[in-house]
Amino acid sequence: MNSGHGAPSVRATYRLQFRGGMTLDGATALVPQLARLGISHLYASPLSAARPGSTHGYDTICYDRIDPVVGDEAALARLAARLHAHGMGLIVDIVPNHMAADGHNPWWMDVLTWGRASPHANWFDIDWDVPDPDIHGRVMLPFLDRPFDDALEAGMLALRHDDDSGLFFIHHHDHRFPLCPTGYASLLARVDAPGELLAAFTTVAMRAGPGPEADAAVGRLRQWGTTDAGRVAMARIAMMHDGTNLSGRACLTGVLAGQAWQLAWWRDGALRLNWRRFFDITGLVSLCVEREEVFDAVHGYVFSLYRRGLVDGLRVDHIDGLGAPAIYCQRLRARLDALTPDRPEDALPGGAVYVEKILIGGESLPTAWPVDGTTGYDFMDQVSAVLHDAHGAGVLDRLWAGCGPDARPLGQIVRAARTYLLEHVFSAEFGHLATLLRHCLPDGDGSWAAQDLRPVLECLLLQFRPYRTYFGDEAVQEHGADSMVLDMAKTAACRTTTGDQAMVVGDITRLLSACPEQAPPPVVRRAQQAFEHLTAPLAAKSLEDTAFYRYGRLVSRNEVGSDPAVLGLPVAAFHACCLSRQARFPHALLAGATHDHKRGEDVRARLAVLSAMPGEWERQVHEWFAHNHAAGRGGPDRIDEIMLYQTLVGIWPLEPFANDAERLHFRRRIQQWQIKALREAKRHTGWISPDMVYEDACAGFVDRLLDPVVSASFLRQMAGFVSRIAPAGAVNGLAQTLLRLTVPGVPDLYQGCELWDFSLVDPDNRAPVNFDYRAGLLEHATSFAAAATDWRTGRVKQDMIRRILAFRQNYPDLFTYGTYEPVEITGRDRSHAIAFLRRQGGIRLLVVAPRLPQALGVQAADLSVGRDVDLGLELPQLHGPWHSLLGDVPRQVRHPFMRGQVPLVCLVHHAVGE
């Protein structure tokens, strides 16, 4: 449900990635430029203190201060003041799900130091009661570069005293693991430490937990450690625990056995980990933010910034990672509402909340979440799909199937990926879930004892499609959608199981669908939460981070939030999505590009053209297969080769390479993408065990393809092919931009994407942006028609954004409260347009966006239509003139696409007498 607080004031957002050179003061300098573009809110990546060297800010180490890499509170105040002076606000990305699991995180280090006695022991999602006796009551730390015994014997675990903190640590490369002060007395007694110091730590051992006595004892140790005697003693302690000799190894083993943690080889993490991480990243530990004390600690500072008017809205990262998203959203909404009256009188309306959530087809945000909508992955999928031609699927499927035995349908690829992930990546989480389910039901009749739950549970997990259900949430809410998707998974799983196993599947799904108001036992609640915490990363890793790199039918549909099996979306279905958004979340963000996208919005727009010319694409690919001779060279195979060709077509420059430096930069971008794609696919190579022979062969193939001497013929073919489709690709890019700016919702611009976005997956999509160049184009704005003749620079896209956002600024109610009315299209070319009216009061906005523009004969000189178009609009009778926000008004509004004009229509009508 829409909160209706600050969201109506959010007119258009601009996402900035901080770090990598972007600071708060740097953002402050950009505010006039963004204001001129028509932006209402700067949308910032996480600003909280993150792990040193972080490139993204999602590895938080503390929530009570701004990361000094990006600035401080004074810098934030300067940014807020500049934004407010231009009538703009600030939306900040927050990360309540996880933190960095390293020595820079004081909460995490406190848990490692004191174990279950730490006040933060329940702040992280740790299973202290895991059956494994080696880690029962302890935290497993799979950060060693080799097996434990080998690390010990090689002297890779060194005991050292830290002068600054006064604590003892075990060092392993860059990692530091704290020793619990309850054991310090025995360490110090061996080096004749002062009696008062030994007595103090004896008291600490008796207390067995943190407190004033422990703080005082550590303080004394810190002071003594700086004396000559203390330094000598610390050196002796280190020597006594040198693992390279037998006595030292025995001493060190004894010390390690008494800690609240157990070190292990990093490869063991997937098998024995007893705490929840972010997806499969062991360097990020999940929080129990559903606990109110944790919620307060995580949000206290950002709430202070909100109350003081320095922050105006929030973007919540990875909402599906939380244990109780509904409770979280309700608590967040309530706190913001309570603080809103305390904000400064001159502050902008505040309180907008957006959640990062992946929605599959037919899925909606739960109604129990009082937020303003998603961050826009759903729209990004819809607008891309409607610009693809579903009729091209048959030929593209044939081309794909011919790429070898691994070129299977998407469903088979995803299931194979899930099977692999459950065995090799999420084995610990899978085993934990099976154990919990085993203990959920009494086994009086022996039916459960006769069954091995793991294969039955695996069948269910293989068939479960969305990120998760919400039965494990603590809020009383409607679970119809949850029941439906769980029942669908059960039905599909039962088709692949025996009769007895099907009964167990039914038992499991009944457990998983128990609502909190039915008072299920705690073990059932834990099983539900374990299931929901497993399905989300399993869905993401199997599809986005595996199948997207294995399935190459048309990679423009392999995008975050998208279903690559759906090639195209009918126009009527796109309208239905817009109407649904307007009814339920009219202030939701509409994204075209993000810091997580696999390919930039204009890469996808160009590749969409291939769906409408599949025969020509098929012939071209087979020609390249035949003449480039990848086979027999050790790599790439046909699948990796066809995905490489699509990537080259998608990002090929609009102008010839100016010099060798540009050509080299392009090749490096391709090879950087290629390494990531090959390893994520996990077919021939991977991050854990890279096959350098295959990777080198693939890199060599790219070197050869892009060598102007060796592959002159191929390069001419590639440049020629791209030059034929690039104008239609540009029109597609403008069409999706036009739709993002005018359909229900709030347009979000990702940094730099006001010009063409030909980026690839990170880190390419997070590269520094040349804002000076964009400012220069903006300052010398020209007519839309003139910008269209200069379309290769991207000026035409920027000009469209500027014009329409200026109109939105002048008529905000039209987009906040206005109707959305699909317009019926007639004529032989009716499939080549998407048309609708927005209406509010006496203002009408008519939008006609082109679709499948290759068939319109788009001209390379100015993107104009190259033939007569038989396309008419069924419009109501409207008296009075129309005004165009883009170019000229068509001679006949009911026939909007004219030969010689750019096929983009955005017309305004003021009703006479209204």
Q: Give the model confidence (pLDDT) of 362-416 as tens digits.
A: 899 999 999 999 999 999 999 999 999 999 999 999 999 999 999 999 999 999 9
pLDDT, residue 307, reads 98
User: Which segments of the chain belong to CATH 1.10.10.470?
Assistant: 614-724
pLDDT, residue 400, reads 98
Residues 863, 899 contacting (CB under 8 angstroms): no
Residue-wise pLDDT tens digits, 459-489: 999 999 999 999 999 999 999 999 999 999 9
Residues 179, 259 contacting (CB under 8 angstroms): yes
Rg for the chain, CA atoms, rounded: 30
Q: Rounded mean pLDDT of the chain?
A: 95
Rounded to the nearest 5 degrees, what angle is found at the Cα of 101, between the Cα atoms of 96 and 102?
130
State mean pLDDT over 196-214. Answer: 95
The rounded distance, in Å, linking the Cα atoms of 899 and 856 is 9
Residue 447 has pLDDT above 70, yes or no: no
Residue-wise pLDDT tens digits, 564-600: 999 999 999 999 999 999 999 999 999 999 999 999 9
Percent of the chain with pLDDT over 70: 98
Tell me yes or no: is domain 614-724 CATH 1.10.10.470. yes
3-state secondary structure 857-870: CCCCCCCCECCCCC
What's domain 106-278's architecture? 2-Layer Sandwich (3.30)
For residue 5, name the pLDDT band (cuts at 50, 70, 90): low
Phi, psi dihedrals of residue 56, rounded to the nearest 5°? -135, -25
Residue-wise pLDDT tens digits, 720-735: 999 999 999 999 999 9
Q: Which residues contact 369 (CB under 8 A, 6 or more apart)?
A: 1, 319, 325, 326, 329, 330, 355
Buried b (16+ CB within 10 A) or exposed e, 540-567: bbbbbbbbbbbbbbbbbbbbbbbbbbbb
pLDDT, residue 268, reads 85
The rounded distance, in Å, linking the Cα atoms of 520 and 472 is 10
Residue with tokens 């239509």: 865
Residue-wise pLDDT tens digits, 881-904: 999 999 889 999 999 999 999 999
pLDDT, residue 126, reads 97
For residue 500, name the pLDDT band (cuts at 50, 70, 90): confident
For residue 501, name the pLDDT band (cuts at 50, 70, 90): confident
pLDDT, residue 443, reads 65
pLDDT, residue 914, reads 47
State mean pLDDT over 601-619. Answer: 98
Phi, psi dihedrals of residue 828, rounded to the nearest 5°? -60, -30
pLDDT, residue 444, reads 56
Residue 165 has pLDDT above 90, yes or no: yes
pLDDT, residue 696, reads 97
Residue 3 has pLDDT above 60, yes or no: no
> Selecting from 3.40.50.720, 3.40.50.150, 3.30.565.10, 3.20.20.80, what CATH number does the domain 7-97+289-375 have?
3.20.20.80
Residue 750 has pLDDT above 70, yes or no: yes
- The amino acid that residue 525 corresponds to is R
State mean pLDDT over 17-23. Answer: 96
User: Which segments of the chain belong to CATH 3.20.20.80?
Assistant: 7-97+289-375
Q: Which residues contact 743 (CB under 8 A, 6 or more apart)?
A: 379, 578, 581, 590, 820, 836
Exposed, middle or buried by CB within 10 Å (0-12, 13-18, 19+), for 569? buried
Residue-wise pLDDT tens digits, 243-261: 999 999 999 999 999 999 9
Nearest to 814 by CA among 2, 35, 40, 8: 8
Residue 141 has pLDDT above 60, yes or no: yes
6-15, 491-500, 536-545: range with highest mean pLDDT = 536-545
Buried b (16+ CB within 10 A) or exposed e, 580-619: ebbeebbbbbbbbbbbbbbbbbbbbbbbbbbbbbbeebbe
The rounded distance, in Å, linking the Cα atoms of 453 and 502 is 11
Residue 212 has pLDDT above 50, yes or no: yes
pLDDT, residue 304, reads 98
For residue 777, name the pLDDT band (cuts at 50, 70, 90): very high
DSSP secondary structure of 328-382: HHHHHHHHHHHHGGGS-TTSPP--EEEE-----TT----TT--SS-B-SHHHHHH
Query: 499 or 560, which is more confident?
Result: 560
Residue with tokens 């450690």: 225
Q: Which residues contact 507 (CB under 8 A, 6 or more apart)?
A: 441, 448
Residue with tokens 């096959």: 691
Residue 441 has pLDDT above 60, yes or no: yes
pLDDT, residue 477, reads 94
- Choice among 107-111, 500-504, 582-586, 747-751 with the minimum mean pLDDT: 500-504
User: Which segments of the chain belong to CATH 3.30.1590.10?
Assistant: 106-278
pLDDT, residue 911, reads 81
State mean pLDDT over 633-641. Answer: 95
pLDDT, residue 2, reads 45
pLDDT, residue 453, reads 86
| Structure token pair of residue 909 | 């009508």
Residue 350 has pLDDT above 80, yes or no: yes
Nearest to 141 by CA among 170, 117, 120: 170
This prediction's pTM: 0.95
DSSP secondary structure of 514-554: --GGG---HHHHHHHHHHHHHHHHHHIIIIITTGGGT--S-
- Choice among 436-450, 639-653, 680-694, 845-859 with the minimum mean pLDDT: 436-450
- Choice among 221-235, 344-358, 437-451, 670-684 with the minimum mean pLDDT: 437-451
